[in-house]
């Protein structure tokens, strides 16, 4: 569709604009080592590219700026993802060299690493646990009236809650309850736990002890909480360093969005496996219409392990971010596989 020369020019413009954040003129393009045409020729091509909707002019007599469609073409056809820089590689290596036991630790640290290496904002999601199963349930009394409930999932997530224990329940009752729940619920997917809890176990449970609703409630509530993946963000203030966000209003709406987990979940919902790039208005969320979101989602044996993502200006360094996400997501999947060999 595009001629070789047009592709080259578009590539040069996007490249330059990503670096400079200023509209790119024909002259500066023609001065590049890899382009051997006069400004006039470039101008003609640029006019054509604009007609095709790949470039935009902030105003007559300004240089050209890539449009969303232009970025899209750039990402889809012009980029060649290169290997990661030495420095980034080292940083990631030393990241995995750290001793981590929980998948959640990996997920959480990944957010930090990503924002440090890119100077953009990172958003990282833990696995969607609705397909996970309950692995272990335990109640540990801490005094006469309360206990710690511990819930371990098949994805390696551990959580605790405080439960107050109704009067008149002894240690042996508790042990019975715990045993029963473990027996019946181990291996049951979270989404089904609730119904199983009511249908099968309710009767047996009330046989042991009358008033154990609270314990069951906590279990239910915790499972419900975990049906949604955990979200971590890092480097949120990095957007403040981008010249296109000198407008406080815009920045605030972005930062506010980053503080709202449900928003972020909506943002990530329906991202397919593998790497995806969403540019500007492709995001559908008003607040980040001037941002691009690149996500990498990965899984192990059919179960989604989570997503890592970078939020930056549409004018972000796609090459670097894409290679970084690709590299890191693969390493993370590897780590998980090793733990669950």
Partner DNA sequence: CGTTAGCACTCAATCTTGTCGAGTGCTAAT
Partner DNA sequence: ATTAGCACTCGACAAGATTGAGTGCTAACG
Which residues form the interface with DNA (CB under 7 A)? 22-28, 36-41, 43-44, 46-47, 50, 57-64
70/68 Cα distance (integer angstroms):
5
Contact status, residue 100 vs residue 109, Cβ threshold 8 Å: yes
Residue of 21, 40, 89, 158 interacting with its own copies (CB under 8 A): 158
- 318, 120 contact by CB (below 8 A): no
Q: Which stretch binds its own copies (CB under 8 A): 89-97, 156-164, 186-194, 274-282?
A: 156-164
Q: Can you tell me the distance from the alpha carbon of 134 to that of 159, in angstroms, rounded to the nearest whole number?
A: 12
Question: What are the Cα distances from residue 258, in Å, to 42, 285, 311?
Answer: 41, 12, 10
> What would the x/- binding string for its own copies be over residues 111 to 140, using CB under 8 A?
------------------------xx-x-x
At residue 333, the 3 state secondary structure works out as: helix
Number of residues that bind its own copies (CB under 8 A): 28
Residue 43 binding target from its own copies, DNA, none, CB below 5 to 8 Å by type = DNA
Q: Among its own copies, DNA, none, what binds residue 195 when CB lies within 5 to 8 Å by partner kind?
A: none
Angle between helices 103-118 and 318-339 (to 10 degrees): 160
Q: Burial, 124: exposed, middle or buried (Cβ in 10 Å; 0-12, 13-18, 19+)?
A: buried
Q: Which stretch binds its own copies (CB under 8 A): 18-26, 90-98, 200-208, 243-251?
A: 243-251
d(CA 132, CA 157): 10
Tell me the C-alpha distance between 254 and 252, whole Å: 5
Kind of pairing between the strands at 303-313 and 291-300: antiparallel
Stretch that binds its own copies, among 19-27, 145-153, 201-209, 274-282 (CB under 8 A): 145-153
Of 11 and 112, the one with the shorter C-beta distance to its own copies is: 112
Q: What's the closest the beta carbon of residue 105 comes to its own copies, in angstroms? A: 9
Interaction pattern, residues 65-104, with its own copies; x per rule: CB under 8 A = ------------------------------------xx--
Please report, as ranges, the residues that interact with its own copies according to CB under 8 A.
Answer: 101-102, 135-136, 138, 140, 142-143, 146, 148, 150, 152, 158, 160, 162, 164, 236-237, 240-241, 245-246, 248, 251-252, 255-256, 259
């Amino acid at each position: 569709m595009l001629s070789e020369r047009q592709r080259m020019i578009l590539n040069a413009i996007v490249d330059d604009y990503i670096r400079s954040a200023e509209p790119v003129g024909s002259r500066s393009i023609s001065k590049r080592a890899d382009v051997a045409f006069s400004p006039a020729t470039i101008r003609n091509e640029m006019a054509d590219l604009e007609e095709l909707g790949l470039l935009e002019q902030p105003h007559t007599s300004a240089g050209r700026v890539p449009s969303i469609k232009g970025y899209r073409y750039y990402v889809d056809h012009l980029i060649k993802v290169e290997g990661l820089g030495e420095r980034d590689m080292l940083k990631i290596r030393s990241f995995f060299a750290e001793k981590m036991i929980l998948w959640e630790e990996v997920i959480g640290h990944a957010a930090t690493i990503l924002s440090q290496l890119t100077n953009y904002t990172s958003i990282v999601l833990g696995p969607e646990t609705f397909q996970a199963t309950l692995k272990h349930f335990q109640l540990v009394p801490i005094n006469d009236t309360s206990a710690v409930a511990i819930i371990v999932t098949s994805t390696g997530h551990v959580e605790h809650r405080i439960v107050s224990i109704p009067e008149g329940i002894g240690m042996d009752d508790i042990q019975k309850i715990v045993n029963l729940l473990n027996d019946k619920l181990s291996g049951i997917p979270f989404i089904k736990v609730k119904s199983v809890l009511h249908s099968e176990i309710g009767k047996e449970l009330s046989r042991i002890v009358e008033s154990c609703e609270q314990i069951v409630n906590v279990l239910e509530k915790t499972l419900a909480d975990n049906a949604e993946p955990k979200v971590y963000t890092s480097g949120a203030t990095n957007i403040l360093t981008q010249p296109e966000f000198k407008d406080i209003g815009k920045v605030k709406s972005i930062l506010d969005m980053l503080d709202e987990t449900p928003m972020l979940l909506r943002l990530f919902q329906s991202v397919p496996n593998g790497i995806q790039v969403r540019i500007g208005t492709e995001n559908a969320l008003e607040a980040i219409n001037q941002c691009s979101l690149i996500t990498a989602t990965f899984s192990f044996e059919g179960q989604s392990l989570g997503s890592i993502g970078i939020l930056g200006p549409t004018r972000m360094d796609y090459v670097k971010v894409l290679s970084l996400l690709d590299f890191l997501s693969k390493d993370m999947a590897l780590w998980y596989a090793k733990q669950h060999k």
